[in-house]
């Protein structure tokens, strides 16, 4: 005879409370009946869970009541002061900081422009100021912070890494030390292209896809590799730095990818940054230049297909998602030994911040749930 141990009452309560709290954090307000309907937990069990969470000060009755026929119900919400999360984006143009609540609603936002060619000191000052401004509006403590940076990021220290020919730079900026002084918990830093890829996987062209490559083509050039649902960052965080991948040049020579833009006269004066306006004009009006760019980009993508076997390829950035350019890439892809679908990125407004914000909300919810579990003991 096989005996199956029943879960303890404490375990059942913990699982129930976690389920109820998760639904509360996903909604501005919700009734016990709605929680029961969505979770499959009985109304009586939900009510007991709500009483426990209210006693811990994590949940509150909003004072609002349902209307309509039948017995009215009370609306509940996460109690004020449970903590906020900070999401930050560092780009060549600006530093943007937000604090958000457990539902991902922004409580405050600060944006500070950066001058062209801003260095470590200017970027650090803008980062510090923007984060302090929004931290003052947080609901409770800033429990966690997530930072997106338009530079490679050392995966162990969170410092930005300067590599040869990088168009922006802020040297070895250390976001962890700056943002960490305002957050009580962890500070996560990653490259902006990696965060944009996560955003596409959550609610964009790659939604529901666990294996894809995201190519960012804007002023800078970058790539994110998503395999088995995880972004692969490499030993030092430099996975996806594609600027020096060797590709066909305009003069039938093999050159680093970044040099294609110099060869075609598509760089900003005095910089290694791609001139996005000039590239868009070339895509629209200069078929030969468009074809040369497509050949170079296709070589990068073909290498990714050969080594990584992605389900499909997502192309975004200031000019990468241009419909005419995506069509050029799709034509070339159809001729590869392993044809691979190419799609334009669906998110064009701050996709890196969207990815960082989503992860910050996830970490904040985890922190609130851990606090509830600890206080129950």
Residue (of 126, 137, 100) closest to 179 by Cα position: 126
226 domain-assigned: yes
73 and 51 in a common domain: yes
190 and 95 in a common domain: yes
280 domain-assigned: yes
CATH number at residue 168: 3.30.420.40
187 and 122 in a common domain: yes
56 within 8 A of 99, measured Cβ to Cβ: no
177 and 52 in a common domain: no
State whether the Cα torsion 313-190-91-162 is positive or negative.
Answer: negative
- Which domain covers residue 186, as residue numbers? 84-195+351-372
279 within 8 A of 265, measured Cβ to Cβ: no
End of a domain among 79, 110, 138? 79
* pLDDT at 136 (0 to 100): 96
CATH number at residue 13: 1.10.10.10
* pLDDT at 377 (0 to 100): 67
Q: How many CB atoms lie within 10 A of CB 243?
A: 20
* pLDDT at 236 (0 to 100): 86
What is the spatial distance between Cα 290 and Cα 284, in angstroms, rounded to a whole number? 8
Sequence-distant (≥ 6) Cβ neighbours of residue 346 within 8 angstroms: 200, 203, 204, 205
Map 226-288 to HEC letters: EECCEEECCCCCCCCCCCCCEEECCCCCEEEHHHHHHHCCCECCCCCCECHHHHHHHHHHCHH
3-class secondary-structure state, position 84: strand
| Residue 95 token pair | 């530093």
33 domain-assigned: yes
* pLDDT at 348 (0 to 100): 87
166 within 8 A of 221, measured Cβ to Cβ: no
92 and 70 in a common domain: no
End of a domain among 62, 79, 96? 79
218 and 182 in a common domain: no
| Residue 145 token pair | 């912070």
300 and 217 in a common domain: yes
71 and 88 in a common domain: no
Stretches where the chain sits below pLDDT 50 are: 1
136 and 103 in a common domain: yes
Domain total of the chain: 3
337 and 215 in a common domain: yes
1 domain-assigned: no
What is the spatial distance between Cα 346 and Cα 316, in angstroms, rounded to a whole number? 8
E strands, 124-251, are 142-149, 187-191, 212-217, 221-227, 230-232, 246-248
The counts of H helices and E strands in the chain are: 11, 15
4 domain-assigned: no
332 domain-assigned: yes
317 and 191 in a common domain: no
Q: What is the pLDDT of residues 319-356, one digit of tens each?
A: 999 999 999 999 999 999 999 999 999 998 899 999 99
């Amino acid at each position: 005879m096989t005996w199956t141990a029943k879960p303890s009452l404490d375990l059942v309560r913990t699982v129930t409370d976690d389920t109820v709290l998760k639904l509360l954090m996903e909604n501005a307000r919700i009734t016990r009946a709605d929680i029961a309907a969505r979770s499959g937990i009985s109304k009586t069990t939900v009510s007991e869970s709500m009483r426990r969470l209210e006693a811990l000060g994590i949940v509150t009755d909003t004072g609002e009541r349902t209307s309509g026929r039948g017995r009215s119900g009370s609306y509940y919400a996460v109690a004020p002061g449970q903590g906020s999360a900070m999401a930050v984006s560092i780009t060549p143009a600006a530093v943007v900081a937000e604090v958000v609540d457990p539902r991902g609603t922004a409580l405050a936002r600060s944006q500070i422009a950066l001058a062209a060619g801003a260095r470590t000191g200017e970027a650090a000052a803008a980062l510090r100021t923007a984060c302090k401004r929004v931290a003052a509006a947080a609901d409770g403590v800033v429990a966690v912070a997530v930072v997106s940076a338009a530079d490679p990021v050392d995966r162990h220290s969170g410092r930005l890494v300067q590599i040869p020919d990088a168009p922006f730079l802020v040297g070895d900026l250390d976001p962890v030390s700056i943002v960490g002084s305002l957050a009580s918990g962890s500070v996560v830093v990653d490259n902006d292209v990696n965060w944009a890829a996560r955003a596409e996987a959550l609610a964009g062209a790659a939604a529901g896809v666990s294996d894809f490559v995201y190519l960012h083509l804007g002023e800078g050039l970058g790539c994110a590799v998503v395999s088995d649902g995880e972004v692969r960052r490499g030993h030092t965080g430099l996975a996806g730095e594609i600027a020096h991948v060797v590709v066909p040049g305009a003069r039938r020579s093999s050159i680093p990818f970044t040099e294609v833009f110099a060869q075609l006269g598509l760089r900003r004066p005095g910089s290694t940054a791609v001139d996005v306006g000039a590239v868009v004009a070339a895509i629209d009006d200069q078929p030969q230049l468009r074809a040369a760019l497509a050949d170079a980009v296709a070589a990068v993508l073909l290498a990714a297909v050969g080594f990584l076997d992605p389900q499909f390829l997502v192309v975004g950035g200031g000019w990468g998602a241009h419909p005419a350019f995506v069509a050029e890439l799709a034509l070339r892809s159809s001729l590869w030994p392993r044809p691979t679908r190419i799609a334009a990125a669906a998110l064009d407004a701050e996709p890196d911040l969207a990815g960082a914000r989503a992860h910050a909300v996830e970490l904040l919810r985890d922190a609130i749930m851990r606090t509830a579990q600890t206080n129950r003991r």
